[in-house]
Each structure stands twice: as C-alpha cells, then as structure tokens.
Structure 1
C-alpha cells in the first residue's frame, strides 16, 4: 500500500528531529522507512503509523541514526578522495600532462626572469593561501535557505586538508635561506610541489561540482 504525501512528510519530520540534517542521507532513510511502512500497511491498513515509525527506528540500534550517519560519512569521504586523486592522476598522463608541464615551464620561466627568488616563492605561497580562503568562503557563505547535503559538506574537510598542505608549503618557503634560493634543484622541486597542490585543489573542486550536479539531477526541485 503506497504512502500518502502527508505520511512521507511525517516520516521526514521524524527523521529530521532525530538529528539527520543532511538531506541526501535523510532521503535514503525516509525511503527505507517508507518501504517498511508500505509492507506493514499492506498487511494491516489500520496499523498505527507513529508506533511503526518508532519500531523501525529501533532497528537502527541503540545509537539510533548516529552509527548509520558515521558510516555514510566514511563512505562518502573515501569516495570523494578516491575521485579527487583519480582526477589528479589524469594531469600526469596524456593529454592533460601537457597542461601540467605548461604550468611548470611557465613558472620556471617567470622565476628565471626575477632577481628576487624569495619574492617569487612568497607570491606562490600567497596564491595557495588565496585558494584556501576561497574554499573557506564557499563553506561559510552558503545560503541558509539551501538544504545541507553530506556529499557536498566535504568541502570543509577538503579545506582542512588543503590548508594544512599550504601551511607546510609556506613554512618550507620561510625556512629557506638566501643561498638556498640560488639552488635550482630546490627551486624546481618547490615549483613542482606548487603545481601538484594547484592541481590537487583543481581536482577536489571539480569533484565537488560533479557531486553538486548529480544532486541537482537527483533532487531537481530542491535548492542546492
């Protein structure tokens, strides 16, 4: 027996009040509840919906939805970074390796034009910091009317990982002495690291927007 819109909304409200704020996770749980309730109603049309919802909830264990959400977080996080690293690897195979090489060569050419190598690497550090704070801005300046999706909330985790890498890059730059900036091997190595960080950021953001497009297709009536 198919549930009415009011009954589905009742389940959704119950799941939301129970602490499931992520819309995509909540939708999955609501579908599970709806399927179980339809079976119950088919067997007994007079079943008490509220009591059955509570009974189904008990099947999730003593921690309610908490363990399920944590499991989903781990799964989504793993998938996000697998896709990000897979996207990053494409920049080191044809044809995208041409882009990576072009960026590296352009940076080496620019560095060689400048007398002050320390300033050059300080600029690179500033670029990475700007990208990091762009990520932070995207995380914190969201429209409060929009629903929160677990698959998109990883922007904050990605920011933390990327920002840590940027801090290490900046620390390395500050700890280099004047003589070390005359060492081309060290300079080329640091430029290479910068390119990898740049492409890592690019890859993570690409995966984020891919996930966002998927959510828009899956939930066309929901503001994302």
Structure 2
C-alpha cells in the first residue's frame, strides 16, 4: 500500500502538531515517516494509517522529534560558522590582507593612548548593538515572510537571527575573558597582550562585517545551495 497526497499532508500537520516549525525539518521527517509507514504496512496491511503513523512515531522515543530538531540545529549552526570563517579567510589574502594589516596596526598603536580602553569598549558595544538591532529587524521580516508563504526554513532563521545572536555571545565572552577589566591594566599590558588585543578587535570587526553585511547579501544564494527547492517556495 502506498501513501496518498492526503496522507502526506496529514504527516506535515502531524509534525507541526509535535512542535516542528521548520519546513525543511518537517520534510525530512515526513519522508522518513512515509517510508516507515509503508514498511509497516507490508508487515501489517490491515493497520490503519493513523495506527501505522503512531507506531512509527513511537520509534523516536519519549522526546519525539525533539532530538532530530536539535541535531539539525547543531548541523546548520556549524554550517553557518563555517561560512563566516570562509569569508573571514578572504581578508587574509591579497589584496584584502593589506587592509586587515592596517586595521591591526591601527588598533595596536591606538593602545598607547590614555583613552584606548574606552575606545575598545565602544567598538564592542557598537558591534553588539548593531547585531541586536539586526536580530530584531530580521525577526520582523521573517515573520512577515512566514505568514505569507507558510514556510519557515531553519538555515534562513539561523542566518537572520540565531547565528547573529550566537556571534554576539561569542564576542561578549571574548571580551570578558581576554581583556583587562580596567583602563589602568589595559595600558600596562605587555607587547604580546597588546598584539593579542589588537588581533581580537580586528577579528571582531571582520566578524561583524561578515555576519551583518556579507552573509545577508548572499542569503538567497546560500539558502538555494542548502535547499534546492527554496527558490520555488
């Protein structure tokens, strides 16, 4: 016995009912459930669709689809940060490496000024505030799009919201663990610490530039690479 289109649509509703909000994850689960239900019917052809579906669902354990969603989230987040690293690496090749070196040297020399610590803090705050603003703006934009299309894609959500939010947290942790907590200690740092702090602030700016400008501009291209069916949605 084969599943009908009505059965497939019922499976999509079933995944949504069990808190799977992303269309791409729904599609993977529906495909898995459909194949499993047909195998169950081979063994027990008299079983109803609902009973076969529930039997298949029980194989996911007490947490249902939650583990699948979490695994997919981890996979897509790793993909997002690999893309960020790919674009950052371009800034360490000619001709962009010249600008990167100038940025590094500029921040290294800046540390000799009395108010350098405050300027560093200002850069961190500006980048993080921009990321928070972008998250809010993108959240509203995604909601409008989801309401219009009825589809929400996990990687699109990571590009627009989750990835940027994770980036902001990484920057906060980097500042907290790697920088002195006052201006006096900042000025007394040795050459190695000064070079390290200049490198961190340079990477921060590149990180912010890639996550806030480069990736959003290439979002459609990246999404179509991830989901061939995305352009038809």
Q: What is the TM-score normalised by the length of structure 2? A: 0.70
Q: Where in structure 2 are there 5+ consecutive unaligned residues?
A: none
Alignment pair present for 1:202 and 2:176: no
SS in 2 for 1:36: helix
The 1:83/1:33 distance shift into structure 2, 3 A limit, reads: same
The one of 163, 182, 199 equivalent to 1:175 is: 182
1:69 CA displacement: 2.0
The 1:124/1:204 distance shift into structure 2, 3 A limit, reads: closer
Q: What is the TM-score normalised by the length of structure 1? A: 0.72
Distance, in Å, in 2 between the alignment partners of 1:60 and 1:179 is 53
Distance, in Å, in 2 between the alignment partners of 1:180 and 1:34 is 64
Distance, in Å, in 2 between the alignment partners of 1:2 and 1:60 is 22
The corresponding residue for 1:59 is 59
1:219 CA displacement: 2.5
The corresponding residue for 2:168 is 162
The 1:47/1:118 distance shift into structure 2, 3 A limit, reads: closer
Deviation by residue 1:58-79 (Cα, 9 ceiling, x = unmatched): 1222322122222222332333
Aligned residues: 220
Distance, in Å, in 2 between the alignment partners of 1:99 and 1:217 is 36
Coordinate RMSD, CA, aligned: 4.0
Alignment pair present for 1:218 and 2:229: yes
The corresponding residue for 1:150 is 154
SS in 2 for 1:141: helix
Instruction: Tell me if the contact between 1:151 and 1:211 (Cα under 8 Å) persists in the aligned partners.
Output: no
Question: Residues 18-167 of structure 1 correspond to what in structure 2 (within 5 A)?
Answer: 18-39=18-39, 48-104=48-104, 117=116, 120-138=119-137, 140-145=139-144, 146=146, 147-154=151-158, 155-156=161-162, 158-166=164-172
Q: Which moved more, 1:134-143 or 1:162-171?
A: 162-171
Q: Which moved more, 1:120-129 or 1:58-67?
A: 120-129
Distance, in Å, in 2 between the alignment partners of 1:67 and 1:216 is 21
